[in-house]
């Protein structure tokens, strides 16, 4: 996580929150103070805690261990859209847990922003203004079924499920419409499509 990446996202979502000490440390390394730190605080060391408190950063400890720090954030933040940086490209178990959280908290729209891709949960109806040739990958988080328009390989009538059928490397013919009638589905787009993903997700959630 570098300053340029953080600044680019802050132009789209101006309030910065950190998931536990790791998120706070990453924000500070990039030259930013978060508004608040949310988590169980097990990775927040004493010197960083002192610096955060001195800077007036709110600490929001959540003692329970039944959820990840990312889940704790999604449970407590309410916004038209949350852009999430630093949850991909590291430990695979942490990345899988972040994908699980996207499906587990459908009421709060959120996009994981990685170095190459953006990932988010598909709402029941989604419109994406994509250029022809854009890679569109769909990944079910359980049994799922839906319909599409604007994809080279339509998903109508297909029963998706992990270990059964996934939708890797589909291709947009132009603007894409997705309708998810059953189950939880994630969509993965190239990083350059973040503005289109943000617009589509906001519109789908009435934001």
Q: How confident is the model at residue 63 (pLDDT cuts 50, 70, 90)?
A: confident
pLDDT attached to residue 101: 95
Name the pLDDT band for 65 (thresholds 50, 70, 90).
Answer: confident
What does the DSSP 8-state code read for residue 27?
A: H
**Confidence at residue 199, expressed as pLDDT on a 0 to 100 scale:** 97
pLDDT tens digits along 133-144: 999 999 999 999
**Tens of pLDDT along 30-61?**
999 999 999 989 888 999 999 999 999 999 99
What class, spelled out in words, does domain 3-115 have in CATH?
alpha beta
| Tokens standing for residue 196 | 């289109």
What pLDDT score was predicted for residue 64?
Answer: 82
Which segments of the chain belong to CATH 3.40.50.10240? 3-115, 121-204
- For 171, residues 6+ apart whose C-beta sits below 8 A from its C-beta are 133, 134, 135, 136, 151, 152, 153
Measured CA to CA, the distance from residue 203 to residue 80 in angstroms comes to 9
Per residue in 165-194, pLDDT (tens digit) is 999 999 999 999 999 999 999 999 999 999
**Edge-to-edge strand order for the sheet containing 36-39?**
17-19, 36-39, 58-61
Give domain 121-204's CATH architecture. 3-Layer(aba) Sandwich (3.40)
Could you report the per-residue pLDDT of 6-20, keeping only the tens digit for each? Answer: 999 999 999 999 999
Question: Among 68, 77, 143, 147, which Cα is nearest to 110's?
Answer: 77
Element (H or E) spanning 149, and its range? Answer: strand 144-151
Helix (H), strand (E) at residue 17: strand 17-19
> 68-113 pLDDT, tens per residue?
999 999 999 999 999 999 999 889 999 999 999 999 999 999 999 9
Measured in whole angstroms, the distance separating CA 39 from the mean position of its chain's CA atoms is 17
d(CA 23, CA 2): 12
Give yes or no for residue 1 having a pLDDT over 80.
no
């Amino acid at each position: 996580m570098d300053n340029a990446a953080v600044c680019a996202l802050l132009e789209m979502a101006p309030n910065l929150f950190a998931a536990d000490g790791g998120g706070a440390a990453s924000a500070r390394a990039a030259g930013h103070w978060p508004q608040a730190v949310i988590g169980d605080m097990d990775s927040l060391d004493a010197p960083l805690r002192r610096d955060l408190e001195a800077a007036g950063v709110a600490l929001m400890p959540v003692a329970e261990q039944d959820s990840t720090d990312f889940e704790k954030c999604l449970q407590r933040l309410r916004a038209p859209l949350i852009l999430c940086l630093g949850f991909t490209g590291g430990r695979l178990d942490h990345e899988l847990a972040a994908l699980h959280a996207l499906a587990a908290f459908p009421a709060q729209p959120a996009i994981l922003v990685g170095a190459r891709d953006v990932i988010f949960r598909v709402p029941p109806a989604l419109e994406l203004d994509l250029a022809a040739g854009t890679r569109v990958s769909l990944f079910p988080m359980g049994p799922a079924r839906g319909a599409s328009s604007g994809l080279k390989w339509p998903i109508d009538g297909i029963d998706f499920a992990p270990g059964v059928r996934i939708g890797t490397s589909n291709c947009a013919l132009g603007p894409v419409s997705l309708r998810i009638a059953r189950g939880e589905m994630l969509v993965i787009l190239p990083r350059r499509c973040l503005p289109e993903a943000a617009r589509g997700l906001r519109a789908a959630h009435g934001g």
